[in-house]
Amino acid sequence: VSMMTVKHAKRKVSALLFKLQFESCIRDIQKDASIVEKACNELRQSTRLRRLLGIVLSFGNRLNTAGNGKRKAGAFTLDSLLKLKQAKAFDKKTTFLHYIVLITRRNHQDLVNFKDDIPTACEGDKIFWDQCVADLEKVENQLENVRKIALYQAHQAQAYRLRRRPKKEDPDESLTDDEDNLTLEEEVETLRATPIGLFTLSAIKYVSALRGKIETTKAMFAHLLEYFGEEDSALQPHELF
C-alpha cells in the first residue's frame, strides 16, 4: 500500500517518531532544568562567594574614593566583574583581579576554593534556557498531534466494531472529528482503548509535570537575579553562570 493512500500518513509517521524519541527528549529537558535549579541553589547558598563579592566591593570602594570621604557604592552589577582584569596598576601588568586574588590568598585563604561551592553553576554555562523552553513547546505541540491521532484511531475502531462506514476523508485532512465535543472523562476513556491512546495519557502526565518544573526553575532564576540585585536584567542562565 502506498504511503500516499494512508489517511493522515504524515501525521502518523510524525507521531511514531515522536513516540520513539519521547523518553530521551523529556530526559534531556529534565536534566537541563535540574542543572539550572541546582546551580541557582548553589549560588544563593555559597557563603564563600558572598564574602568574596564583599571583598571586591570593599576594595573597589577604596580605589574609587581614594580615602577622601567620597560616597561609597552600595553594590555593583555582575557584568562589572568581567572588568576586574581590565583595570591595571602603574606597571601595566597587575590587574584589579590579580590584586583581589593576592588579598584573598593572604588574608582569606578559606575563600580561595569558593568554586567548590558552585560546581553545577560552572556546568550550567553550557545550557541555553531559551532553547530548553523551545524544546518543551515543541514536545507539547507534537503531543497534541499524537492525541488527535489517538482519538481518530479510536473513533475509527469504534465505527468498525459498530459496522458503521467511516466518513470518507482525504489523506491530509484535519483531524478534528468529534474530539472537541468530548468531555474530559469521555476523552480519557476513549484514549484508553488503544495502545497509542495509553501512551498519550502517560505522555500528557510527564509533559505536564515537566512544564511545572520549567516554570519553577524559571521562577528560581528570577529570584536569583533579584538576590544579586539584577531583577531588571535580561540575563540568561548561561550568561550568569
Mean pLDDT of the chain: 84
* Closest C-alpha among 60, 64, 63 to residue 77: 60
**pLDDT number for residue 161:** 64
pLDDT digits (tens, 9 = 90+) for 203-229: 999 999 999 999 999 999 999 999 998
**pLDDT number for residue 67:** 58
Q: Residue 170: pLDDT above 50?
A: no
CA-CA distance, 64 to 176, in Å (whole number)? Answer: 68
